[in-house]
Structure 1
Amino acid sequence: MTAPVRRTRSDGERSRQAILGAAMGLATIEGLEGLSIGGLAAHIGMSKSGLYAHFSSKEELQLAIITAAEDVFATQVVLPARKQPDALSRLTALCERFLSYVDQKVFPGGCFFASAGAELDTHPGPVRDALARSQSTWNDTVIEFVERAQEDGAIRPDEEASQLAFELNAFLHLANDLFVLHQNDLGIERARQAIARRLRTARS
């Protein structure tokens, strides 16, 4: 009796993940607000009732999309950077992995969080709050990487970690904006040069 239950749950989870995979990419093009249950169902070839079996409301779907996008971002950007052998390499890899995440079009509309944040920054509510938490987590991660590099003696102690993180983020997000707008790598390459130059000035 247990085998059919396990199979049903597995099938349901695969269906949910397929929905979220399609929804993340679509949201970077149409926006989280523009993403309707009916439109998403049609996009993935599912009935609206089938989609409602997984998400009872548009807000629940939006929040689930954000959580799924956080997992993708961690897998593509943060976790590979953490595997580097020293703190400065980890900081450099964190920036490079972000640029690769954009350049490889993990999502067709560029960085999911840049897209969603620009769309919903003036729309108070649980969805914006979730995006704000994601942005804070990312910013804290960049600061953490800078501070670890300072502890290793690779970055000067007089560098304010939060300011350096802000500047690196500015390069990264402008590269994303230019890549999405112009569909070429010029912004990505300029960001690489700017980040390398800024880290050279920050080194001990």
Structure 2
Amino acid sequence: MTTTHPDGRIERGNQTRRLVLERAVNIASVEGLEGLSLGRLAGELQLSKSGVFALFGSKEELQLATVRTAIKIYVEHVVRPARDLPPGIGQIWRLCANWLTYSEQRVFPGGCFFYSVSAEYDAREGKVRDAVTAAHGNWFSLLEGVIADAREVGEVRTDTDIPQLAFELVALLETANAESVLHHNFACYQRATNGIRNRLLSVATDPTLLPDTP
């Protein structure tokens, strides 16, 4: 009977790729995706430039892989902890609370990765912009879907303008992130929490359904 052993080179390549991308998302959250280069990452991580180039092939592919990695991290910290909650206003609240914690705890050293790179690519064209735009759009769609589910189960008023509510909630989240990064003022997270709670109270069919704290 023949035993198949995994190719050690493939595993080493996967480990190197993960190492590079872990560093890349942190750099990009502070300096933007344009701050990435294969040579810089190879030098900082003491890897061969040719080996890093072989893994990604181009700066654009490195940038796209960095966005995909950031999405996975974002989902892990913001989306997944709220995914198993029952539909309702508590699920909306949890998503927003997760987002504020993700930003405040600096999962990415530059604050929200997608806030940073959205500003960098909002007026550009190309595959990287498309990837950033899709990630941003998916977050809005998710939030709107959770609000719609809460309305469907009767915990959000039927006359609620879902896109408007999602827009206002994201505005509060992103303003807290921007203020904390620019001014090192972490009191803004409590202000955002208060604003989100007040806005959700305005659409809740039963205010007692909303938790007192995130």
Between the aligned partners of 2:202 and 2:88, the Cα distance in structure 1 is: 16
Indicate whether 1:2 and 2:4 are aligned: yes
Unaligned ranges ≥5, structure 1: none
State how many pairs are aligned.
203
> 2:163 is paired with a residue of what secondary structure?
helix
1:138-164 CA distance string (max 9 Å, x none): 000000010011011111010011110
The residue number in structure 1 matching 2:190 is: 189
Say if 2:142 is the partner of 1:129: no
Aligned to 2:94: 93
Matched with 1:43 is 44
Which amino acid letter does the alignment assign opposite residue 196 of structure 2? Answer: I
| Structure 1 residue 86 displacement after superposition | 4.2
TM-score, normalised with respect to structure 2: 0.91
Deviation at 1:114, TM superposition (A): 0.5
| Deviation digits for residues 80-139 of structure 1 (CA, Å, limit 9, x no counterpart) | 111224422111000000000001110000111110010111111110011111111000
Larger CA Rg, structure 1 vs 2: 2
The TM-score normalised by the length of structure 1 is 0.95
Deviation of 1:40 after TM superposition, in Å, equals 1.7
Q: Give, as a single letter, the amino acid of the residue that structure 1 aligns with 2:102.
A: Y
Deviation at 1:46, TM superposition (A): 1.5
The answer for the alignment partner of 1:56 in structure 2 is: 57
Residues in 2 aligned to 1:195 and 1:4: alpha-carbon distance in whole angstroms: 50
Give yes or no for the alignment of 1:157 onto 2:139. Answer: no
Q: Which runs of 4+ in 1 moved over 6 A?
A: none
